[in-house]
Amino acid sequence: MAKLRIFIDLDGVLADFDMAAALHPDRNNKGFRPDLALNFGDLHPIPGSIDAVQALLDAGHEVFIASTAPWDQPKAWTDKRLWVGQHFPQLKKKLILTHRKDLLMGDILIDDNLWNGAKDFNGTHIHFGQNGMDWKYVIQTIDNITNLLKIK
Ligand SMILES: [Mg+2]
């Protein structure tokens, strides 16, 4: 039985968008738009994310990906689905694409931004990338929460 329902953002939390932007051959060109230039399929998983997701699943938590794809780039919707299939096959059928993360019902949202409803999420928002919040720290934080709630 699931303990916590956890939503995980994709860009900047599971998929390493910044790294791909930093390595892009056109990165120094004027007007470079990484969001337009990058092919989502080329993104690598954020260090530690694969093991962390597995640890959450092994602990019995219910894990979903909550991501926003640009409305005017329908290809991005497909690219995200394919990327998840390639790098996180254990999250099959657990991909939610939405512009309103505040509508999600659950306990924890791990997101590196406050946009698209993240700041109004009804559970706990773990702000990934803020104050050294990497995947190791996220797992520690969720362990602390489960201990506090005595749901071990
Ligand atoms: Mg993000």
| pLDDT, tens digit, 9 for 90 and up, residues 7-26 | 999 999 999 988 998 999 99
- What pLDDT, on the 0 to 100 scale, is given for residue 53? 98
Mean pLDDT of the chain: 94
User: Binning pLDDT at 50, 70 and 90, where does residue 1 land?
Assistant: very low
How far is ligand 1, taken at its centre, from the CA of residue 150, in Å?
A: 30
**61: closest CA among 146, 136, 119?**
146
How far is ligand 1, taken at its centre, from the CA of residue 129, in Å?
A: 10
Would you say how long the chain is, in residues?
A: 152
| pLDDT, tens digit, 9 for 90 and up, residues 106-141 | 999 999 999 999 999 999 999 999 999 999 999 999
Distance (Å, whole) CA 79 – CA 10: 12
18 noted as active-site residue: no
11 noted as active-site residue: yes
Alpha carbon distances (Å) from 113 to 13, 54, 58, 118: 10, 23, 27, 7
Distance (Å, whole) CA 65 – CA 41: 17
User: Beta-strand (E) ranges in the chain?
Assistant: 5-8, 62-67, 95-97, 108-111, 124-127
Residue 145 predicted with pLDDT over 50: yes
Supply the DSSP symbol for 59.
T
Set 11, 16, 107, 111: catalytic member: 11
In terms of pLDDT, which residue wins out, 38 or 79? 79
How far is ligand 1, taken at its centre, from the CA of residue 147, in Å?
A: 27
Domains identified in the chain and CATH numbers = 5-148 (3.40.50.1000)
In terms of pLDDT, which residue wins out, 35 or 85? 85
Read off the amino acid at residue 29: N
Residue 152 predicted with pLDDT over 70: no
Q: Where are the alpha helices (DSSP H) in 49-134?
A: 49-58, 74-87
| pLDDT, tens digit, 9 for 90 and up, residues 53-81 | 999 999 999 999 999 999 999 999 999 99
- What pLDDT, on the 0 to 100 scale, is given for residue 2? 54
Supply the DSSP symbol for 123.
S
Phi, psi of 78 (to 5 degrees): -65, -45
- What pLDDT, on the 0 to 100 scale, is given for residue 150? 74
How far is ligand 1, taken at its centre, from the CA of residue 111, in Å?
A: 6
